[in-house]
Amino acid sequence: MVVRIEPSILSADFASFAREIERIPSADLVHCDVMDNHFVPNLTFGLPMVQRLAQVSALPLDVHLMIDDPDRWAPGYAEAGAHTVTFHAEAAQDPVATARAIRRAGARAGIALKPATDAGPYLASLGEFDQVLVMTVEPGFGGQSFRSELMDKVREVRAAIGDRDVWLQVDGGIAADTIGTAAAAGADTFVAGSAVFGADDPDAAVQRLRALAQA
């Protein structure tokens, strides 16, 4: 199984994003959490910051939109240089149309599911997406504890993906003691925040997480 590790810049030093990204050369992508203080009760940054990050980052960006009305805003993040744009099923009026618009704008399209959201209604449309993100915490804040009961949903999505080229991502509480559980359930793409940027050597933390997931 191909394992991808995505450190979340939400846990990095906001005053030194470019330097922080340089500390994780072994990472596969950089995870960027965009929050609007409406869909989730937190506010981070928006399109201009992502556009600038795309200009200075040696790693591709996976933008996770925790915002209202992604149908309107998501394609702009693809145009800004994001490699992947993931939006929430709960906020989209037409997830398939939004995914197609993201792809037309030049990025991979991902759909995210909050812990209480049933994956079932979206499984028939998996061919429209490049990534499914199963949230293992409530979106909005970093540092929450991993919820192992959500591994049933991860297994359900993995079974539905089959041999399609769709990444199965998990986000929330991913650390050395939880990544193996998520990998065993079928996840292949892992978002880790404090487990990486809270370490003395963030790149060594990336490598350790990858090894644990592969094991």
Paired tokens of 209 = 């997480």
If DSSP codes are grouped into helix, strand and coil, which group holds residue 7?
strand
List, in sequence order, every residue forming a beta bridge with 5; answer none if it has no partner: 190
Residue 36 near residue 43, CB atoms below 8 Å: yes
Please indicate whether residue 171 is annotated as part of the active site: yes
Catalytic-labelled residue, pool 33, 36, 130, 188: 33
- The Cα–Cα gap between 89 and 77 comes to 17
Please identify which residue in the block is written with the tokens 């992508």. Answer: 29
In sequence order, what E strands does the chain have? 4-7, 30-35, 61-66, 84-88, 108-113, 131-135, 167-171, 189-192
Catalytic-labelled residue, pool 28, 130, 171, 188: 171
Please indicate whether residue 188 is annotated as part of the active site: no
Q: Which distant-in-sequence residues (6+ apart) come within 8 Å of 30 by Cβ?
A: 6, 7, 9, 21, 24, 53, 57, 59, 60, 61, 62
Residue 174 near residue 206, CB atoms below 8 Å: no
Catalytic residues: 33, 171
